[in-house]
Structure 1
Amino acid sequence: MRRLAIGITCYPSIGGSGIVASQLGSELAKLGHKVHFISYEPPFRLDIAQPNIQFHQVEINQYQLFKYPDYTLPLAVKMVEVAQRHKLDILHVHYAVPHATAALLATHIAQTERQRTPHVVTTLHGTDITLLGRDPNLRPIIKYSIENSCGVTAVSESLRKETVQVLRTRKPIHVVHNFYRPMPPRRDRTEVRHSLRVADRDFLLIHMSNLRPVKRVPDVLHVLADTNDRRIKLLILAGGPFDEYRPLAKELGISNRLIVRNNVVDIENYINAADTGLYTSEKESFGMGVLETMSFGKPVIATGVGGVSEIVQDRRTGFLVKLGDIGAMARDILKLAADPELAKRMGDAARERAQQEFSAEKSVCRYIEYYCSILSSCKCRG
């Protein structure tokens, strides 16, 4: 097939959507496609020096006339500029608002000026539906943006069903699961554990998230406290401020068993040093941290919500627990800590599942096939 010119817009901050968009762009570039990232700053894990990748910065002006700076309009203008200059075939936007909205405005401008118009593909990641989609002030524009995109994908079957239910849309939504290509650890497991002051005999839990309320960080801390075992420690790789949770950690008496690292890029070194993943979300459209943990052969203990249940196989690659069941999670941790053979067996199964079902090759191939189907069948752009 011919090489495509693809524009990608995502939130550049730490979070599953930005990570996946960056990895998708990187994988597409390796295959020879020209990839253009359009955002207000480079995505967190994107290597903009990689061949076939270009970054185009959106300038946000703060005019006194406007109470709040606007991003949607300058983003749309930058999309028009990049699409015309680089002859984009596809404009792949992650999140319906404001990215799909800006993309649709950009294509309308391009059509009006009889310029090259890319096909808009919108990927739904969760919050745009589970939270914003339920807001009556935003639901109409979200529904409009989805239904007027050339193609729409969701990162899990759970999210696809919720989108149809919340928006009552008849737009076909194609499921392409998130993926992860693990980087080989660059530091020895023992070295990393010693740097964290974790002994060889300790059992190290890992939790990676942006610490938003939906992640239920207090539950993570309560689970650690409920294990009541000084050998069990917890490493949190935080994509957001943790200070608000320190008083609770002190109250629970777990401060000396808790390690927090902020904005970590080399997550592979830390996951490799851990023994088990712990995730307590009340909602999770996919669960990128869960997949990343499994990719390194670690079993995962998680709430069986949303897309997580599409990743973790209960009692095979880890344990799925009811939301808020602190005691069950603590018991499962103690079970794994006491049985290294069980932990290894589950970890091996977790790695195998991640490699077979959520590999970069599999998901990127699905995206390319979807792009081609949109280019050949969608007549809404030209």
Structure 2
Amino acid sequence: MPSKKMVFIHLFNDRSGSPKVLSQVIKAAANNHLATEVITSSHGDGFLSGVADVQSRLFYKRSENKLLTLGYYLISQGLLFVQCLKYKRQNVVFYVNTMMPFGAALAGKLLKIPVYYHVHETSIKPDVLKRFLRFIIEKTSTKVVFVSNYLMHVERFSKLPQVVIHNALDATAEHTYRVKEEAGFSSLMICSLKAYKGVLEFLALARRSLDDKHLNFTLVLNASRSEVDSFFSSIDVPGNVAIYPRQTDMSGFYSRSDVLLNLSRPDGWIETFGLTILEGMSHGLPVIVPPVGGPAELVRSDVEGYLISSYDIEALYRAICRISLDPKKYKMLSDNALSRTRDFSLDVFESKFSTLFNEMQHDT
């Protein structure tokens, strides 16, 4: 029997975590000699550009108006449903990335095509949308892949086969024991331009640190320069903060920094894994992360870094001060962070997906 073709579906082709992970899955499929096609938005600078054998365009737009964004989303799913009907009588598997592209899942159910879901998220608003998307998964999915034990615990589907496959570092990730050469102590945060990602808490922490002249802060946002300028136009940005728009190569930022922060608000956006956390650790950066969700599976407090709520500015400030002034403590955290990344290698990731792809070949 010839191998099935893998058709991967993802809404928004940007440089955030979920399309990056999907790009690794697609490469793993190619390494298993499977034909691949990706259906995604036409944005050309995302992680999914040029990664599959065939690239198909999906209509998808966003707007600052939430109702308009919802309208675009529903239109995109109607068009996606129609688009996926062309695979009738083809030997394919639909691999749906995130809960959002339900149009492909409905088409797969109608055409009796196996549908696999790769679930990255839990914080979907409004709640009625999340309930609807879960209902679609329950009725259409052959198997669900979760990115962390935490996520499978909170989002598990009682009647569906499911598996945890943790995200992995790229094979090209730089594993580096740190040798500090520059004066000062730099705290780095990389995130989307959303309040729930802790952007304002990052500024509050920097403001609290203004009297400590050796402390400085770098914020890299997954947004254009114009979006960044607009967001901060009426916000007082402390003088010890440098803000950068979307980047294609983060290695220089990691190498110039001393600690990586993730300040997602625990009541607004629970991180289900934290790929940038792992990337920072691979550069020998100690990390400070929320005490909930996927990051708590990556980081042990006082071993690779600290688990501190973004709302506790004083605790964050004390932790940064402590490790910035204690080279022995810093080296211990740095060495531990680097060692921890060995547990999330691309080899382990690809081995687990090879097993999954082998299962797919026997799905009817």
> What TM bracket, shorter-length normalisation?
0.7 to 0.9
Q: Is the 8 A contact 1:143 1:169 kept in 2?
A: no
Q: Corresponding residue for 1:367?
A: 353
Q: Is the contact between residue 85 and residue 107 of structure 2 (CA under 8 Å) also seen in structure 1?
A: yes
Displacement of 1:339 in angstroms is: 2.1
Matching residue within 148, 158, 162 for 2:150? 158
User: SS at 2:128's partner residue?
Assistant: coil
Following superposition, the deviation at residue 53 of structure 1 comes to 3.0
Structure 1 residue runs of 5 or longer lacking an equivalent are 62-66, 112-116, 194-198
Change (3 A) 1:81 1:230: farther
Structure 1 counterpart SS, 2:169: coil
Residue of 91, 94, 103 corresponding to 2:94? 91
**1:258-304 C-alpha deviation (Å, 9 max, x unpaired):** 11111101012211221110111122111122112112111101121
Partner AA of 2:123 in structure 1: T
Partner of 1:178: 167
Out of 282, 288, 291, which is 1:301 matched to?
A: 288
Quick one: percent identity of the two aligned structures? 20
Aligned length: 341
- Deviation, 1:246, is 5.8
**Residue of structure 2 in register with 1:320 after alignment:** 307
Q: Does 1:34 align with 2:17?
A: no
Rate the CA distance shift 1:360–1:83 in 2: closer, same or farther, 3 A.
farther
**What is the match of residue 6 of structure 1?**
6
| Corresponding letter in the other structure for 1:28 | A
Displacement, 1:247? 4.5
Q: Cα deviation per residue 1:183-209 (whole Å; 9 max; x = unaligned)?
A: 367xxx99xx9xxxxx92021111001
Structure with the higher fraction of residues in helix conformation = 1
Contact residue 60 and residue 71 of structure 1 kept, 8 A:
yes
Among 211, 221, 224, which residue is 2:206 paired with? Answer: 224
Q: Residues 122 and 146 of structure 1 are in contact (CA less than 8 Å); yes or no, is this contact kept in structure 2?
A: no
Deviation at residue 31 of structure 1 after TM alignment: 4.7
CA distance in 2, matches of 1:29, 1:43: 21
Residues 155 and 177, structure 1, Cα contact 8 Å, conserved in 2: yes
More displaced 10-residue stretch of structure 1: 365-374 or 257-266: 365-374
Corresponding residue for 1:64? none
Normalising by the residue count of structure 1, what TM-score does the alignment of the two structures yield?
0.79
Judge conservation of contact 1:96–1:146 (CA < 8 Å) in 2.
Answer: no
Aligned partner of 1:268 among 251, 257, 261: 251
Shift of 1:242: 3.3
Report if aligned partners of 2:187, 2:259 keep a CA contact under 8 Å in 1: yes
Check 1:108–1:30 CA distance in 2 against 1; reply closer, same or farther (3 A cut). closer
Aligned counterpart, 2:217: 234
Distance change (3 Å), C-alpha of 1:39 and 1:327: same
Return structure 1 stretches of 4+ with deviation > 6 angstroms.
none
| Residue 315 of structure 1: how far off its partner (Å) | 0.9
CA distance in structure 1 between the aligned counterparts of 2:44 and 2:349, rounded to whole angstroms: 20
Q: Deviations over 1:122-178 (max 9, x none)?
A: 01111xx3324x6135513422324420011111111112114xxx74434311111
- Contact 2:32 2:354 (8 Å CA) reproduced: no
Q: State the AA in 2 paired with 1:239.
A: N
Q: Which residue pairs with 1:104 in the alignment? A: 105
The residue aligned with 2:123 is 130
Q: 1:269 to 1:183 in 2, by over 3 A?
A: farther
- Give 1:311 shift: 0.9
From 261, 266, 277, the equivalent of 2:260 is: 277
- The letter of the residue matching 1:161 is H
1:142 counterpart letter in structure 2: R
Deviations 1:222-255 (CA, angstroms, capped at 9, x unpaired) = 12222331221111110133343465444xxx22
Cα deviation, residue 3, structure 1: 6.1
Task: Write the deviation string for residues 105-135 of structure 1: whole angstroms up to 9, x where unpaired.
Answer: 2224434xxxxx3x21101111xx3324x61
CA distance in 2 between counterparts of 1:236 and 1:32 reads 40
Structure 2: give runs of 5+ residues left out of the alignment. 62-69
Q: For 1:131 and 1:139, how far apart are their aligned partners in 2?
A: 9
* C-alpha distance in structure 2 between counterparts of 1:91 and 1:295, whole Å: 32
- Measured at CA, do residues 48 and 211 of structure 1 come closer, stay the same or move farther in structure 2, by a change above 3 Å? closer
Q: Is the 8 A contact 1:182 1:292 kept in 2?
A: no
CA positional deviation for 1:72: 0.8
